[in-house]
């Protein structure tokens, strides 16, 4: 689908974490196309190289683990040296294991929280400090998931960690507002990012789930990056502390299985008369 959407981030500096694949890779491309300087960040060096190839000089890359305070500090130093400051920070990196609650190990639980919560906290704090130093305000965009709002078997650690990100982002929005730093959260639903072919069970599960989504299809990575660019742009200048879904309606309900009809014909809803047949 061709869309007539244009954002201009000429001269702005953007960090995108989790840039080695999926939604992060798409966001790096989108910010570069919109004129921004971009620091693409991931712990996967090979994936980062692939993301940044052919994107030109405005795209730099940094291998860093967002769980690690020193690596996050080093990353901000690299951004300062490369670009002189920071305007936009997109905290997209996350891990999302699918594990039964009764089988879940403490190690996996702690890893999920270390990446999704501590990583988002460390990145938000360090990015905000750099933005405050620059004195021009900024935008921080954090990531949640539709799974944060509704129960989803297998996602105890992931879903609860994303709910924590939403809560954290509301506090960050309030504390950073006096510095003119706006903090918003993007909550995707099912987005087509999985490397193919899928394992058979996952394929089966998705095939059953997709028709139940209100829009009956997974989202595209570009549909998430469109929202992120909007939240980084002047068009969202009165938005902070918001959690915005980009989920094809999955957080509000399921697609009707057929035409919507009045299935109880025993009663006239206007007159209150019970019909006899």
Ligand X SMILES: NC(=O)c1ccc[n+]([C@@H]2O[C@H](COP(=O)([O-])OP(=O)(O)OC[C@H]3O[C@@H](n4cnc5c(N)ncnc54)[C@H](O)[C@@H]3O)[C@@H](O)[C@H]2O)c1
Considering the complex, what minimum distance in angstroms separates the CB of residue 192 from ligand X? 8
**Residue 119 or 138: which CB sits closer to ligand X?**
119
Tell me whether residue 238 is one of the annotated catalytic residues.
no
**Residue 18 or 138: which CB sits closer to ligand X?**
18
**Residue 33 or 193: which CB sits closer to ligand X?**
193
Query: CA-to-CA distance for 197 and 142, rounded, in angstroms?
Result: 29
* Sequence-distant (≥ 6) Cβ neighbours of residue 44 within 8 angstroms: 20, 21, 63
Catalytically annotated residue among 113, 158, 238, 267: 158
- The alpha carbons of the chain give a radius of gyration, in whole angstroms, of 21
* Sequence-distant (≥ 6) Cβ neighbours of residue 62 within 8 angstroms: 39, 40, 41, 75, 78, 79
Which residue is nearest to ligand X, using beta carbons? 22
Considering the complex, what minimum distance in angstroms separates the CB of residue 179 from ligand X? 24
CB 103 within 8 A of CB 156: no
What is the end-to-end Cα distance of the chain in Å, rounded?
Answer: 50
CB 110 within 8 A of CB 67: no
Q: How many other CB atoms sit within 10 Å of the CB of residue 15? A: 29
H-helix or E-strand containing 209? helix 200-209
Site residues (CB under 6 A) for ligand X? 17-18, 20-24, 42-44, 47, 65-67, 92-96, 115, 119, 143, 145, 162, 188, 190-191, 193
**Residue 34 or 75: which CB sits closer to ligand X?**
75
Considering the complex, what minimum distance in angstroms separates the CB of residue 64 from ligand X? 6
Considering the complex, what minimum distance in angstroms separates the CB of residue 93 from ligand X? 4
Catalytic residues: 158
């Amino acid at each position: 689908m061709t869309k007539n959407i244009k954002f201009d981030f000429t001269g702005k500096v953007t960090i995108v974490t989790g840039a080695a694949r999926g939604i992060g890779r798409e966001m790096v491309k989108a910010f570069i196309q919109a004129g921004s300087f971009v620091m693409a960040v991931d712990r996967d060096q090979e994936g980062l190289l692939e993301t940044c190839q052919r994107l030109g000089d405005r795209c730099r890359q940094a291998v860093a683990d967002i769980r690690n305070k020193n690596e996050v500090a080093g990353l901000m130093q690299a951004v300062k040296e490369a670009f002189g400051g920071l305007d936009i920070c997109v905290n997209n990196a996350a891990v999302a294991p699918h594990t039964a609650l009764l089988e879940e190990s403490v190690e996996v639980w702690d890893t999920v929280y270390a990446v999704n919560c501590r990583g988002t906290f460390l990145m938000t704090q360090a990015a905000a400090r750099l933005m405050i130093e620059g004195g021009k305000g900024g935008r921080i965009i954090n990531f949640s998931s539709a799974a944060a709002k509704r129960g989803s078997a297998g996602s105890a650690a992931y879903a609860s960690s994303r709910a924590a990100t939403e809560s954290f982002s509301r506090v960050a929005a309030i504390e950073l507002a006096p510095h003119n730093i706006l903090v918003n959260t993007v909550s995707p639903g099912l987005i087509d990012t999985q490397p193919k072919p899928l394992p058979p069970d996952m394929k089966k599960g998705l095939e059953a789930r997709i028709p139940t989504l209100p829009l009956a299809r997974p989202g595209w990575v570009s549909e998430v990056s469109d929202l992120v660019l909007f939240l980084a742009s002047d068009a969202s200048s009165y938005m902070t502390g918001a959690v915005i879904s980009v989920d094809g309606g999955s957080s509000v309900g399921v697609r009707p299985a057929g035409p919507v009809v009045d299935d109880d014909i025993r009663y006239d809803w206007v007159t209150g008369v019970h019909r006899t047949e």
